Amino acid sequence: MLRYESDVVIIGGGITAALLAQKLLELRPTWSIIVVEAGARLFDNQNRLTYRKRNLDYGENMWPGDVVPDQSARGVISRTMAVGGSALHWGGVCNRFSEEDTRLHSMYGLATDWPLEWKELERHYCEAERRIGVSGEPSPLAEDWRSEPYPMKAMPATWNLIQLKAWAEQSGIRFWTTPQAKNTVAGYGGRGKCLRCNTCEVCPTGARYSPDWTFKQLLATNKLQLHDRTLVRKLALEDTGTRVSVAQASREDGTGAAVEYRARTFVLASGYCWSPHLLLLSANSRFPNGLANSSDHVGRYMTGHLAYQATIDLDAKIYPGMNEQHSLISREFFRCKPDQPYVRHDLRVWENAGGRGPQLRDAAGKVLLGDALISDWRTRTTRGTARVRGYFDAHPDRDSRLTLDAAAKNRFGDPLPVIQHRVDPATAARAGATREHFQTLFARLAKAGDGRVGQISALNYQDHPAGGCRMGLDPATSVVDTFGRTHDHANLFVVGSPTMPTGGCTNGTLTFVALALRSAMVIAGVDGPEANSRV
């Protein structure tokens, strides 16, 4: 059996792990840190252009090899398992939550409050934006104040977004460009400048932040060990006491060889699915329901957000396909007036090419060839189309759960997780009003530009999922404290998305990272008001 010892073992190799490791090594440069990731490292930058082309031409995986086939879960929304995690192929959207997201109970009597101060989280938002490299246009709303400017100037609005902004703002709603983890200047973070390749999921220039860049930089300093293709299957405790002593793993390289990791501190950075899963798998005689689970809250309050979206046909000349991931955002609906039915959401606008392609037959069913096909196509694209979407917060029920599925096991015989989201009664009760709100809102947008709303659809899964190890001050109703330290085990932390009590109403990645960076202060044992203020 292979055995390793270090000061810190970070389990999981995604974006929170990468940036947590980076910060820990800055705070504690003499510490030894091992990152253990079940998936492979895909560091073959030289092949990105090829993968991109094959994805465009054949629909092949733009990140080949980014899965562990038998490490699956019912209810997950991404199968990516590799060094870099889901952020290998994220779109790079870096929206912040708002203070309301952390004060739902105090302000609206809903769900629960987060056990931290907004000002403190805001500082870590700034830090996350610096480390990732975010280009953005500040919100014009006073409530969206920020203590530092964006690290980079905003991605310029495209022709299409300029047309769409002019249209959308006729509704009286203000829009601006979405902040993104994409370089608008050359060299930020050692990466290139965006070339608007239109394939942000596999950025051929490195302009879009990807955690593999951070890992490669850390590995180059020889300060970090990265053990990929190694699945941590169980955490074991010391013979007496509640401290975690060892992480037991198996190699995913075909040998299945056993590996043990011993450390002073263990950090779970495996995301909303695999973090609570490992805690449940680690049940023992003293913690029969799983580690960190004396409250029976591990795997509960699985959260995320839902969405309504629509296409709107409008009187504008749109040329789809020139940086089409770039979008507009309005944060005007992050706040909900007390005298209005509760609904909070972001509002995004993109150019749209869906349903705008060439058609083989005309409306009468006659086959179109050559010039007739082009003529028909041009007629249908004289006007432009926008795609609009609002993520709205959907608060989790206590029984919104991740559990072990005894009927599904991986190659090692470990039961795999199953996630079943369930919104709380208050969210369910306002579902009709939420739908009506979006119908009215989309109609308002359309009307302003002589537009027509197409079919409105609802997202059929919870996006940017989180939860499962929610933070709180009361050990009876939470799994970790405000810094991610588990209530039950002093040397075991959970960081990032699993710790979130609620999922907000906009993209979550920046918040996952900000929370992890905040945890780093305590993991590193850094003294000061930040480490001590809320513990």
Partner 1 sequence: MKRRTFLEAIAAVIVAGKTTFARQPGTQTAGLAAETRGAQAGLAVFDAGETATLNALADTVLPSALGAGDRRQAVRAFVSWFANYKPGADMGHGYGASTLRQPSGPSPIARYPPQFAALAEAARTRGAASFAALPPPARREVVEAFLNQPQPVNRLPTQPTGANLVADFMGLYFNSQDGWNLCYRAEINRDACRTLDNSEKAPAPIKG
Q: Provide the minimum distance between the beta carbon of 213 and partner 1 in the complex, in angstroms, as a whole number.
A: 19
CB of residue 141 to partner 1, shortest distance in Å: 24
Question: Is residue 67 a contact point for partner 1 (CB under 8 A)?
Answer: yes
* Tally of CB atoms within 10 A around 257: 13
Of these, 59, 288, 338, 529, which contacts partner 1 (CB under 8 A)? 59
Q: Are 213 and 207 in contact (CB under 8 A)?
A: no
Q: Does residue 319 touch partner 1 according to CB under 8 A?
A: yes
Min. distance of Cβ 20 from partner 1 in angstroms?
24
Q: CA-to-CA distance for 17 and 28, rounded, in angstroms? A: 16
User: Does position 409 bind partner 1 by CB under 8 A?
Assistant: no
| Interaction of residue 317 with partner 1, rule CB under 8 A | yes
Per CB under 8 A, the segment of 295-303, 320-328, 449-457, 503-511 that binds partner 1 is 320-328
- The minimum distance between CB 184 and partner 1, in angstroms, equals 6
Of 143-151, 196-204, 219-227, 438-446, the segment contacting partner 1 by CB under 8 A is 196-204
3-state class (DSSP) for residue 34: strand
Judge contact between 367 and 360, C-beta under 8 A.
Answer: yes
**At closest approach, how far in Å is the CB of 363 from partner 1?**
12
Residue choice 371, 406, 413, 527 for contact with partner 1 (CB under 8 A): 371
CA–CA separation, 140 and 137 (whole Å): 9
DSSP codes joined into one string, 313-367: EESS---TTSSTT--EEE-TTSS--TTS----B-EEEEE--TT-S--SB-TT--B
Stretch that binds partner 1, among 40-48, 109-117, 258-266, 377-385 (CB under 8 A): 377-385
Residue 157 engages partner 1 in binding (rule: CB under 8 A): yes
Counting contacts by CB under 8 A, is residue 60 touching partner 1?
yes
Q: Does 265 bind partner 1 (CB under 8 A)?
A: no
Residue from 6, 158, 293, 509 touching partner 1 (CB under 8 A): that is 158
Which of residues 141, 173, 219, 373 is near partner 1 by CB under 8 A?
A: 373
Contact pick of 238, 258, 429, 461 for partner 1 (by CB under 8 A):
461
The sign of the CA dihedral 415, 416, 420, 424 is: positive
Asked if 526 is part of the footprint of partner 1 (rule: CB under 8 A), the reply reads no
Backbone φ and ψ for 374, nearest 5 degrees, come out as -65, -40
- Compute the distance between CA of residue 274 and CA of residue 231 in angstroms, rounded to an integer: 11
DSSP-derived secondary structure letter, 179: P
Helix 211-220, helix 15-27: angle, nearest 10: 30
Find, among 47, 307, 326, 41, the residue nearest to 182 by Cα. Answer: 326
Report the residue number, 74 or 286, with the smaller CB distance to partner 1: 74
Residue 507: HSE in the Cβ half-sphere, 13 Å Cα cutoff: 18
Any contact of residue 339 with partner 1 (CB under 8 A)? Answer: no
3-state secondary structure of 19: helix
Total chain residues near partner 1 (CB under 8 A): 64
- Which residue in the set 357, 425, 432, 525 belongs to the binding site for partner 1 (CB under 8 A)? 357
List b or e across 302-334, with b for residues whose CB sees 16 or more CB atoms inside 10 angstroms: bbbbbbbbbbbbbebebebeebbbbbbbbbbbb
Query: Among 192, 187, 182, 209, which residue's Cα sits nearest to residue 19?
Result: 209
Binding-site string for partner 1 from residue 74 to residue 113, where x marks contact by CB under 8 A and - marks none? xxxxxxx---------------------------------
Answer for which of 145, 159, 296, 420 binds partner 1 (CB under 8 A) is 159
- For every residue of 213-258, DSSP letters joined together read HHHHHHHHTT-EEEE-SEEEEEEEE-SSSS-EEEEEEEESSSS--E
Beta bridge partners of 463: 305
- Shortest Cβ 187–partner 1 spacing (Å): 14
Q: Provide, rounded to whole angstroms, the least separation between the CB of residue 381 and partner 1.
A: 6
Beta bridge partners of 387: 311, 350
Between 42 and 520, name the residue whose CB sits nearer to partner 1: 42
Among 27, 173, 320, 383, binds partner 1 (CB under 8 A): 320
Nearer to partner 1, 123 or 193 (CB): 193
Distance in angstroms (rounded) separating the CA atoms of residues 213 and 220:
11
- 123, 196, 216, 251: which one binds partner 1 (CB under 8 A): 196
Give the residue with the Cβ less far from partner 1, 205 or 242. 205
Stretch that binds partner 1, among 66-74, 431-439, 475-483, 504-512 (CB under 8 A): 66-74
* Torsion angles phi and psi, residue 338, rounded to 5: -60, -25
350 near 386, Cβ under 8 Å? yes
Interface with partner 1 (CB under 8 A), residue from 322, 336, 448, 456: 322
At residue 110, what is the residue type?
L
Does 195 bind partner 1 (CB under 8 A)? Our answer is yes
Q: Which residues would be at the binding site for partner 1 (CB under 8 A)?
A: 54-67, 69, 72-80, 155-159, 162, 184, 193-199, 204-205, 317, 319-323, 357-361, 365, 367, 369-371, 373-374, 377-378, 381, 460-461, 463
